[in-house]
Amino acid sequence: MWVGITIILVVWILWQFVFGYPESRVECENLTAREQHLLAKSAEAFFPEGGSLPSAAEAGVVQYLDRMFAQLPKQQKILIRLLFILIEHGPLIFGPLKGRTTRLSQESRIDYFRSWEESSIYFRRLAFLSLRSLVTIGYFSSQSVETALLSEKKS
Amino acid sequence: MSLPVSQPRVLEFADYQAELSDTADMIVVGSGPGGAVVAKELAELGHDVILLEEGPPFRSKDFTPDAGASMCRLYREAGMRAARGKSMFPTMQAIALGGGSVVNSAIAVRPPDWVFEKWSETSGISLDMRKFSKNFQRVEDFLGIEKTSHDALHERNLLFKKGCDALGISSEPCPRNVKKCKASGECFSGCRAGAKQSTDVSYVPAAIRHGARVYTSVRAEEVVIKNRRATEILGHVVEPFTGKVGYAVRLKARKAIILAAGCMATPQILMRSKGASGPSGHVGQNLQFHPGGALMGIWPHEVNPWVGATQGYHSLEFLKQGYKLEVLWAPASLLVTRFPGFGHQYKKQLERLKHMAPFDGIVAATRSKGSLRLRGKSWDPDLRYELHPEDQKDIHKALISIAEIMWASGAESIIPGIHGMPPEITKDEMHVLVNHKFDINQTTTTCNHAFGTTRMGNDPTKSVVDHSGRCHHLDNLYITDSGVIPMSPAVNPMLSIMALADRASHLIHEATN
């Protein structure tokens, strides 16, 4: 019986944390499907649909970061990939133990990110700031965002 | 391949079709504020000069306000370089013809005289201020340095002035090496208006007019030393943006080699060159920065902060207390990352951006020290830096002064961006900032003025170069970048670096003739 429970547990953990990523819905050449999925979900937490400003998807955040990723030096690519892994599988270490970040509901994901932002551990806050910076750089690269936010400049 | 002296021009990556070898009187490594001045002055004094630059040249049309693209193209380590200590300190170094002058905000300000007295106490070198003042003047005249014109200020800069005036704090438009500024606020990603007089459009062309040859996309990697003399530079052509190594480079110097690759690259060249570091053990030590912090003010009216000179106004009132206050602008994407909230709340914050303006403070941090070490074969160094608790207190004081200026200019609230504080405070809640137990790990502290890694001094056991920039133990190897600065200039260091380089040029000329 214990063997069966262990197998089920291992399969569940692998499914929750390693496998089961949807196929990429945007054209990317450099980021893996997992990385795209994490970035898309993270960007959605910062810049959801609705309101007067474009959403992350409308701003093309993932596509931008895919292009930017290609320009990064090797070492920075490695560091950013490690950052993605840490954020994606952070729930395993820091909770909530509901699976990887991309499996969380939008509400839970925001709570999860808030726990990083407000963490008493400096390293966690720094990692979160790095993710937020990347996504925000991607968001502001969009012409529609620039037009909406930096209006006087455009006129 | 080599260029005939009769055909001086700039070589770019695509021009190299074979290994490069050449000979000149003087080889200058680095085209930023330290190197370009020396190259121009020595060429003007009649020396045959080669100027090397690892980065590519950029034209105005090559610049983009897009933060990500700019960081990847213009900055080392894609703008993600950081010094490690108790905290991570982001520090940005440019890789371009013109070096840091291409991406700084063009502030060109003289330090007060007491700074040089402190330098003298530290280094044992007394600079003749009457003569040194002429070096400053020569640079200021050449670059046409002027205080930022009223037309270029706009509301963000004027709010700072208004706040300072209301509090009786002295302030002034920043003196800058800019002509016909378009007030685009894009200094940090390169001037698309072509107004900034960075060295790639000022000193380097002047050096070329006097016969200098400029080899871009060439990384100097080793200085060959023979019998106390620097005789050759060895290196490689490197592809822009990818850093891929290409043809070998071998350049012979008849008279002198001048390293001005910046205070993070020059020590690495010395450490990788047999017999170049000298016995002092100070190469790569004494790394110093001007750590800085910023607050984002929110006013009831529209400020449109993206319009106006990037850093058009500053206050030198608190220099003796250890900090300088400035107006700031940078790509918006970098400034808003510390905004609180998620989702629609975060987007609502962004919509208020037009009502906001950031002011910053940089501290002299004379008690803090760091070091630079090689990281294997990589040319990205391992940087360590520890901020002294007293310097940390100065950052807190600077932030309090900034907040007071913001309130005095009519700000209705401030986003502190400090962990452990409320996301936004009003004037009535100022005590929260004042009484906050400030710790450097609670905020992002940038360190963009770097110096001291090859400091000058009279004592060869405690310094790397003498008063002329010459390495103590060698006859003709000089350093003229920010590494020679013995301690904080209290203000933005570019003009001081250029004045020191101007001074060194004439001393090198005298020594080699």
Residue owning tokens 């990697």: B221
Residue B14: what pLDDT?
Answer: 95
Q: Could you give the CA distance from residue B162 to residue B151 in angstroms, rounded to a whole number?
A: 16
CA distances from B347 to A44, A54, A148, B89, B382 (A): 11, 9, 11, 28, 37
Residue A154: what pLDDT?
Answer: 44
B287, β-bridge pairs: B370
Q: How far is B109 from chain A (nearest CA, A)?
A: 29
Distance of CA B380 to the CA centre of its chain: 17
Two tokens, residue A25? 């819905």
Query: Which phi and psi angles does B161 have, rounded to 5°?
Result: -60, -45
Q: Which of B350, B379, B380 to mutate to test the interface with A (most CBs of A within 10 A)?
A: B350
Q: Which of A133, A139, A142 to mutate to test the interface with B (most CBs of B within 10 A)?
A: A133
What is the chain A residue with the closest CA to B342? A46
Is there a contact between B43 and B212 (Cβ–Cβ < 8 Å)? yes
Residue A94: what pLDDT?
Answer: 87
In terms of DSSP H, where are the helices of B144-185?
150-167
Residues in B lying within 8 Å of A, measured between beta carbons: 66-69, 72-73, 77-78, 80, 87-88, 241, 243, 304, 306-307, 331-334, 336-338, 342-344, 346-348, 350-351, 353-354, 378, 380, 419, 441, 444
CA distances from B399 to B319, B359, B404, B413 (A): 14, 9, 9, 14
**8 Å CB contact of B353 and A136:** no
Is there a contact between B68 and A61 (Cβ–Cβ < 8 Å)? no
**Closest residue by Cα to residue B257 from B288, B284, B225:** B225
What is the chain B residue with the closest CA to A107? B343
Cα distance from N-terminal residue to C-terminal residue, chain A: 71
Residue B1: what pLDDT?
Answer: 61
Residues of B in contact with A42 (CB under 8 A): none
**Closest residue by Cα to residue B309 from B89, B458, B158:** B158
Residue owning tokens 């070998």: B248
Q: Which of B93, B192, B347, B444 to mutate to test the interface with A (most CBs of A within 10 A)?
A: B347
B245, β-bridge pairs: B238
**8 Å CB contact of A46 and B342:** yes
B371, β-bridge pairs: B384
Q: Could you give the CA distance from residue B207 to residue B213 in angstroms, rounded to a whole number?
A: 8
Dmax over CA atoms of chain B, in Å, equals: 70
In terms of DSSP H, where are the helices of B299-388?
332-335, 343-351
DSSP state of A29: S
**8 Å CB contact of B342 and A50:** no
Q: Could you give the CA distance from residue B248 to residue B232 in angstroms, rounded to a whole number?
A: 13
CA distances from B53 to B209, B215, B236, B372, B450 (A): 18, 6, 11, 21, 19
Kindly provide the residue ranges of all beta strands, DSSP E only, lying in B152-307, ordered along the sequence.
Answer: 172-173, 175-176, 213-215, 218-226, 229-238, 245-259, 288-298
Query: Which phi and psi angles does B252 have, rounded to 5°?
Result: -100, 140
**8 Å CB contact of B343 and A110:** yes
Helix (H, G, I), strand (E, B) or coil at B218: strand
**8 Å CB contact of B347 and A51:** yes
Is there a contact between B434 and B400 (Cβ–Cβ < 8 Å)? yes
Q: Which residues of chain A have pLDDT under 70?
A: 15-20, 23-26, 151-155
Is there a contact between B342 and A113 (Cβ–Cβ < 8 Å)? yes
User: Which residue in the set A65, A73, A152 is minimally distant from B304, CB to CB?
Assistant: A152
For residue A114, count other CB atoms closer than 10 A to its CB. 15
Handedness of CA B379, B380, B381, B382 (dihedral sign): negative
Q: What is the Cβ-side half-sphere exposure of residue B338, based on CA atoms within 13 angstroms?
A: 24
User: Which residue in the set B72, B346, B348 is minimally distant from A72, CB to CB?
Assistant: B72
Is there a contact between B355 and B302 (Cβ–Cβ < 8 Å)? yes
Tens of pLDDT along chain B (513 residues)?
655 444 548 999 999 999 999 999 999 999 999 999 999 999 999 999 999 999 999 999 999 999 999 999 999 999 999 999 999 999 999 999 999 999 999 999 999 999 999 999 999 999 999 999 999 999 999 999 999 999 999 999 999 999 999 999 999 999 999 999 999 999 999 999 999 999 999 999 999 999 999 999 999 999 999 999 999 999 999 999 999 999 999 999 999 999 999 999 999 999 999 999 989 999 999 999 999 999 999 999 999 999 999 999 999 999 999 999 999 999 999 999 888 889 999 999 999 999 999 999 999 999 999 999 999 999 999 999 999 999 999 999 999 999 999 999 999 999 999 999 999 999 999 999 999 999 999 998 999 899 999 999 999 999 999 999 999 999 999 999 999 999 999 999 999 999 999 999 999 999 998
What is the chain B residue with the closest CA to A43? B343
For residue A123, count other CB atoms closer than 10 A to its CB. 11
Residues of B in contact with A48 (CB under 8 A): 343-344, 347
User: Which residue in the set A51, A114, A150 is minimally distant from B344, CB to CB?
Assistant: A51
